[in-house]
Every structure is written in structure tokens, then in C-alpha cells.
Structure 1
Amino acid sequence: MTTDHGELSLPIERSTVRLVFTIAPEEQGERLDRLIASRVTGVSRSYAQRLMEEGRVRVNGQSVRPAYRVKPADQVELCLPPPESPDELTPEYLPIPVLYEDDDVLVFDKPPGIVTHPSPGHKRGTLVNAVRAIRPGLPLLPSIRPGIVHRLDKDTSGLIVVAKNEPARLFLREQWQTHRVVKRYLALVHGVVPDDEATIDAPINRDPRDPKRMAVVAGGRPAITHFRVAERFLSATLLDVTIETGRTHQIRVHMAFIGHPVVGDEMYGRRTFIVPVPRQFLHAYYLRFTLPSGRPIELQTPLPYDLLDVLNRLRAAEQVEEGERRDGSATR
């Protein structure tokens, strides 16, 4: 295999998939491993790093490190090994409702506790396993992340979109990357948020002290979160949150950054709460985007029972607390 830069000597075996793409001006400065993960279906950031270690990635004909920052007009070439057999993606019928479907798109109402796609720690019980079961004929299924347009954290519930073919995935992915999708969440956060509405504009990247976490980091990827107060309690605030960008753990990181972490968030909050909380209180309840057919669509899903129960318990507990305060004031 040769290019204008000479012999590449990339590993080639039967059924290898060769991909070549050119870096656009707006992608300047992106880490190569992150960029590959966003550009190539079925390739995570960690897998991109492994491909580089195996010599399967070149930039302008040369080997580079995962942290390489791309430049406009760089030519990136990948040689992917044969994809995992679809038979290795175990079909599983999971309780994940389909809210919308057409020839191009599936939209699920993901319950908490379900991972979006398989990973080393989650080979089964994922949204992808469910797609394999209910729509076994999809052409994207040989991929580990078939048609995945965006993700939700394991313990975040709500709307998630899956493309049924590659043109649809690329069409939708472009909308997510250019921030033309309206994404709204309900989040219960610790403390009383004073502002009725506000915007958090703070860059996010891997926490230099703990690579498993994200953090607000100078020079990180731009991240913008808008919120307005939906309901205030004595010890918490229910927020209606809109995110312009879609960074990993964005809402959780931004809320912790301003001193109001998401209730139930064990990674960024770790605070006790007045009532039992089964998980992080974060629900993706609204999406507005354009279908590959060109038709705009709006979808909503109500707050699931486990989080609604938290609100009802919180309201009841705070009514009792408020009553006790009034009684105490009256006797003094």
C-alpha cells in the first residue's frame, strides 16, 4: 500500500477495512485518538489508541502518538482488522421502549442501568444487544457500536437515537457535531440554586489527577450548559438543562463545578441526601432534530417512576421539615 508519502507498511490481512480521511480546518488541534473515535463507527478512544500501538494508523504516512494534535489537511489512514462477528453480539430482549421508528432511525427511551454499547466491562445487557435482538437485519450490526449517534451514561435515563444505516448515521452525527440538536434534561442538584437561569461556559477534559473522571480544565474542549430552575426545595433544586455541546459527563461536571452536584452522583457529588436516591438524578427528556428524510421531529419522555418517587418523597419530607420549623417558631 503506497501514498504520496511512500510505503506505509500498515498491517493488512484478509477482510481488513482501510479508511482514509482528511482533517478539516475546524478540527485543528483535536487529539487524534479522540477524533478517530468521533469519526469512525465502532471505534472507541481506547481502541483507537490500541490501533496506533499496533501500527494501524498513519498521519501523512508517519506513525504518531495518540496525543498527536491534528492539523488542517492532514491525511489520516487507518487499517481496521476484520470486524467482530455479529454472532458475538448476543441478541437480548431488554425492557427498552422504542418511541419512534422509520426506515432510517430508531429512538429509544433508555432505562437506567443500561450501557449504550458493549465495552470490555459490559459485553452484554447493552442497548446494542437489544438492537441486535429486535432488528437483526440492520446492516450496521457487524460493528460494536452499530448506528450509535450519541450516548447516555449508564445511570442516565431517557431518549437515545440509533441510526439504521450508515448514510443516516452520518447525517445525524453531523447535526450532533454542529450543535444543531436541542437536548434537554431534568436534573436534581444539591443546594438552592440562586439564579432562575444561567449559562455555564467552562471547558472539559480528562481530570489530570484521575483519568477515569472528567473535569473543568483550562485548554479543554469547549462545553456550554444552559439551565433554568424548574422547582426549588429547601435543600435541592430541580433544573431544566439544555446542553449545546455533548462532552462526556458534561452536566454532572458542570453542576459540580458551580457547587451544585447532581443528587445521587457518586463520582462527582458523593453527598448524602434527605431521601433515598436510587441513582444519579438525570433524565434526558427532550430531543429536537432533523430526520434523514428532512422532516424535523420533537420527542419527549416523562420522568421515570424512580426519579418521580424521589421528588414526591422530597416534597413530603420538606413539608414535614417546614411544619416542624413553624411549630418551633410558634412555641418560642
Structure 2
Amino acid sequence: MLTISTTSKSPLAPIIIEPPVPNTPIRVLEQTQDYIVFDKPHGITVHPNELCFFNTALEILRRDHDIPHFMHAVNRLDAVTSGIVIFANMTDPAVRQRFQSPHTDADAELNSLVDKEYVCRVVGEFPEGSVIVKEPILQSAGKVMIDPAGKPSQTRFVRK
């Protein structure tokens, strides 16, 4: 985020420059007063972070679909990933109970109700069966990469 200030005494609002996002509309699949389910396009983060505030799915939906400020992500997807995301009114105990599980870990709790299946393209022929990759993953500058300084990770790939 870039903020430009001036030494002039005239009041100016700061100029905020965020990374560009694709001009792909966010398609709402279902919306109630308790939750909203939408198809997040690739290239847009789910919620504000250190790089962007306005160009996020949450802020775009607040602007374009008038969702309330108490809606929170039930599941998340990386910015480079497209797919189904749910925001819900987690301040309402009945809604929170509906979208939460008995897990105590926050990330597991938020993602426990959503099965994620990623589809990817490969160059060449992917091996039959499953392939398990055990490599440390580090997040840096909005990207996730294999790095010895990263968190331990295990990912299973299956050819279908």
C-alpha cells in the first residue's frame, strides 16, 4: 500500500494504491441475512491483508451486494485459487453453531465444514494413483512456495 502525503496546509485525503485484481465479477450463489455463498475468481484475496484492503472479495461484496460488516469468512482460498467461499454472521450464536465444528483449532474450525478439491493442469503425464509431497511451505509477498524456512506441510495429489 502506498500513501502519499503533502507538506501543503490544504487538506488532502491520502492516495492508496493497491495491486490490481482481475475485472471478473464475483458471482453470488446464495445469500440470506445469515450468510452469503459466492464463487471467488482467481486473483482476488478473500479478506483484507497487508497488501490490499479494497480489492478483496469481502470489500467488493460489501460494496456491490451490501453485505453487513459482521460477516466473516467460514473458509478461505488463496488469492490465486478460484472456488466457493462462504461468509457468515459469526456474531449470531445460532449461525456460529451452524458453521462451526467442535474443533478447537481456529483454522480447522473455520475449514471443517468445507471439503476442498483443487483441479490443476500439468505439463506431461501425471503419475497414476496418489503422490504425496512433504515439503516446508513459506508464504511471502502474497505467494506460497516451498522453502526450508517454511512450515512443515504434506499435500496429497491424486490423478482422477
CA RMSD of aligned residues (A): 3.3
| Per-residue Cα deviation, 1:90-112 (whole angstroms, up to 9, x for no partner) | xxxx7211112334321111122
Structure 1 residue 112 and structure 2 residue 39: aligned? no
Partner Cα separation in structure 1 for residue 146 and residue 118 of structure 2: 20
SS in 1 for 2:156: strand
- Could you state the TM-score of these two structures normalised by the residue count of structure 2? 0.59
Number of paired residues? 127
Query: Residue in 2 aligned with 1:181?
Result: 114
Q: Normalization by structure 1: what TM-score?
A: 0.32
Look up the equivalent residue of 2:99 and give its one-letter code: L
1:223 is aligned, of 124, 133, 154, to 154
- Contact 1:203–1:223 (Cα < 8 Å) also in 2: yes
Say if 2:54 and 2:60, in contact at 8 Å, map to a contact too.
Answer: no
In 2, distance between residues paired with 1:107 and 1:169? Answer: 15
Q: Max radius of gyration: which structure?
A: 1
User: What pairs up with 1:128-277 in 2 under 5 angstroms?
Assistant: 128-133=58-63, 134-136=65-67, 138-140=68-70, 146-166=71-91, 167=93, 168-169=95-96, 172=99, 174=101, 177=108, 179=112, 181-195=114-128, 197-200=129-132, 202=134, 204-206=136-138, 213-215=144-146, 220-229=151-160
Q: Flag structure 2 segments of 5+ consecutive residues without an equivalent.
A: 1-23
C-alpha change, 1:100 and 1:203, in structure 2 (3 Å) is: farther
Residue ranges of structure 1 left out of the alignment (5+ in a row): 1-93, 141-145, 230-332
Normalized per residue, the structure richer in helix is 1
Q: 1:185 to 1:124 in 2, by over 3 A?
A: same
Q: Give distance in 2, aligned partners of 1:223 and 1:170.
A: 30
Name the residue aligned to 1:96.
26
Measure, in 1, the Cα distance between the counterparts of 2:147 and 2:156. 13
Q: Is the 8 A contact 1:203 1:218 kept in 2?
A: no
- Label 1:169 to 1:192 Cα distance change in 2 as closer, same or farther (>3 A): farther
Does the 8 Å CA contact 1:139/1:165 hold for their aligned counterparts? no
Contact 2:43/2:79 (CA < 8 Å) preserved in 1?
Answer: yes
For 2:33 and 2:79, the matched residues in 1 are separated by 27
Amino acid at match of 2:66: R
AA partner of residue 108 (structure 2): Q
Aligned to 1:38: none
Structure 1 position 180, deviation (Å): 5.2
Please give the per-residue CA displacement for 1:112-135, whole angstroms capped at 9, x wherever unaligned.
Answer: 232212223222221111221213
The residue that corresponds to 1:127 in the other structure is 57
